[in-house]
Amino acid sequence: MLDPVLSEQLGHSLADTRLDELGERYRGKVRDVYRQRDRDRLFLVATDRLSAFDRVLTTIPFKGEVLNRIARFWFEKTEHVIPNHVLDTPDPNVTVARATTPYPVEVVVRGYLTGSLWRDVEKGAHTAYGLDIPPGMRKDSAFPEPILTPSTKAPVGEHDEPLSEAEVVRRGIVPAREWARIREAALGLFRVGQEWCRTRGLLLVDTKYEFGAVGNTLYLIDEMHTPDSSRFWRAAEYEARFAAGTDQAMLDKENVRQWLIREKGFSGHGPLPVIPENVRVETAALYLRAYAEITGTPLTPVAGDVEARIRKNLQTHGYL
């Protein structure tokens, strides 16, 4: 039986925002970002949009709230590794952030051979990362040490381009000295994430980070360790599933990707598939379950007009 609160929220899911009073608007795959140049700050509004294979497909009830809350949890837990851009969270869907000069690269850290990297290995396309995958590694094998697979940050609707670390520096995308700092920070963040997840009975499999700078200070920006930007498996089931060659028990957006491939034959190309309401509600339940399992605290959603609540909270905090 579908959760009645999640079903009710289908009609209130936040697909778009028009908060032009906040500043210049940029519409990302999932976030609407407003910039106030005079104050060097951003308003990141996490919508309920669902993207997969770099295409925006539909909305998922409460998804934006869950992502923003999880990101805030991790930002607070990793402040000792690197400063982050968070200044305030006036609403469950909104982060007020320091404006930085972002580096135009997504830094993906992987602890296991799975997902898109495994698909690339099967096609022989992994060489773009400059990786030497040990022969005989199977799907879902753990790497001896986490690896980095950078990619360009493509505009909405376009696909990111895989790069090697050497290529990032050679092209001048990130200077060598800055890349060394980013690399160290990314691996440090991943290590903290893996350690915490083990205490929650989870494996942090891989994740994506983004960084920016203000002067000489490096900041972690965007989001971190959410079900959109990361892959989580249930630790207790890993060995048995790996030995049997079956898919891992996932707690992230990969469930949606696999459903799209299996049920719709969709992997990012061609017309957008229709996502049934029951799948949207079940995916909302997955995101809420992920929040509870990652943070250790359940989240009880409240159905209602999300944008109206956002406006009210921004006014209360003096931003509108």
4-101+255-316, which class in CATH? alpha beta
pLDDT of residue 154: 66
Q: Tell me, what's the pLDDT at 156?
A: 57
The confidence score (pLDDT) of residue 217 equals 97
Tell me whether the CATH fold assigned to 4-101+255-316 matches the one assigned to 102-244.
Answer: no
**Confidence (pLDDT) at 159:** 64
Which residues does the chain have with pLDDT short of 70? 1, 125-126, 154-159
Q: Domain-by-domain residue ranges, the chain? A: 4-101+255-316, 102-244
Q: What is the pLDDT of residue 229?
A: 93
**Res 193: pLDDT:** 98
CATH, domain range 102-244:
3.30.470.20
Q: What is the SS3 string spanning the chain? A: CCCHHHHHHHHHCCCCCCCHHHCEEEECCCEEEEEEHHHCEEEEEECCEEEECCEEEEECCCHHHHHHHHHHHHHHHCCCCCCECEEEEEECCEEEEECCEECCEEEEEEEEECHHHHHHHHHCCHHHHCCCCCCCCCCCEEEEEEEECCEECCCCCCCCCECCHHHHHHCCCCCHHHHHHHHHHHHHHHHHHHHHHHHCCEEEEEEEEEEEEECCEEEEECCCCCCCCEEEEEHHHHHHHHHHCCCCCECCCHHHHHHHHHHHCCCCCCCCCCCCHHHHHHHHHHHHHHHHHHHCCCCCCCCCCHHHHHHHHHHHCCCC
